[in-house]
Amino acid sequence: MKMPVLHPGLNLGPHHGEAHKRAEKLAFGFWVFLMSDLIIFGLMFATYVTMANPMGLAGGPGPKEAYDLTSIFIQTMILLTSSLTFGMASLAMRFERGKAAISVWLSVTLLLGIGFLSLEVRDLAHMIDIGAVPSRSGFLSAFWGLVPLHGAHVAIGCLWIMIMLIQMRVFGLVPLVKTRILRLGLFWHFLDLIWIGIFTIVYLGALAS
């Protein structure tokens, strides 16, 4: 008999009992939150696109001076890999591979997230050094509104992973912990999708200009 799909995202399966039953409402509510967050990012994307022109530059540093595309490519590969490792953690939870397997994959995801943030902070520090600061132009103001906003979300995601690792160790894989990891997975994959938009519009757009 085909198992009914109760909610968007990874279904835990009936063998998870209460966690599977609770996931429907919790995941749906979290999707609503993510869509509200998407609106904010949409506004930031629209502002950036509007300002990415010679008038928006106001004679200040442009994309070719400010962006390190090699670093951006590495960041992209790191973040996409982290989505894969989180997916492995989700599958380990669904098929009940135990706390150790889930913790390992979440820890790898955490390390990748920290690596991504380290490179991004280095790039932003370089932009500050060359005077590519938000107050320099409308273009740079829009950039600093969009890209660090995503970085802040990744930092929150890393903190959330740390909390889940602690909660798994303290409480075990109780239904509350399982549903929190489920929502964390939605959040992490959402950030990857946003980054793909940033990589395409902000950075690949710089190559085309």
Q: What is the pLDDT of residue 32?
A: 87
| Mean pLDDT, rounded, for 50-73 | 92
Q: pTM of the full predicted structure?
A: 0.90
Which candidate, 196, 200, 192, 104, places its Cα nearest to that of 153?
192
pLDDT score of 13: 60
Count of CA atoms in the C-beta half-sphere (13 A) of 58: 13
CA separation for the pair 132, 57 (Å, rounded)? 10
* Contact assessment for residue 6 and residue 24, using Cβ atoms and an 8 Å cutoff: yes
pLDDT tens digits along 117-154: 999 999 999 999 999 999 999 999 999 999 999 999 99
Mean pLDDT of the chain: 89
- As a whole number of angstroms, the distance between CA 51 and CA 139 comes to 5
What is the pLDDT at residue 1? 45
CATH class, domain 17-50+69-208, is: mainly alpha
Kindly report, residue by residue over 73-121, the tens digit of the pLDDT: 999 999 999 999 999 999 999 888 989 999 999 999 999 999 999 999 9
Q: Look at residues 158, 153, 148 and name the one whose alpha carbon lies nearest to residue 202.
A: 148
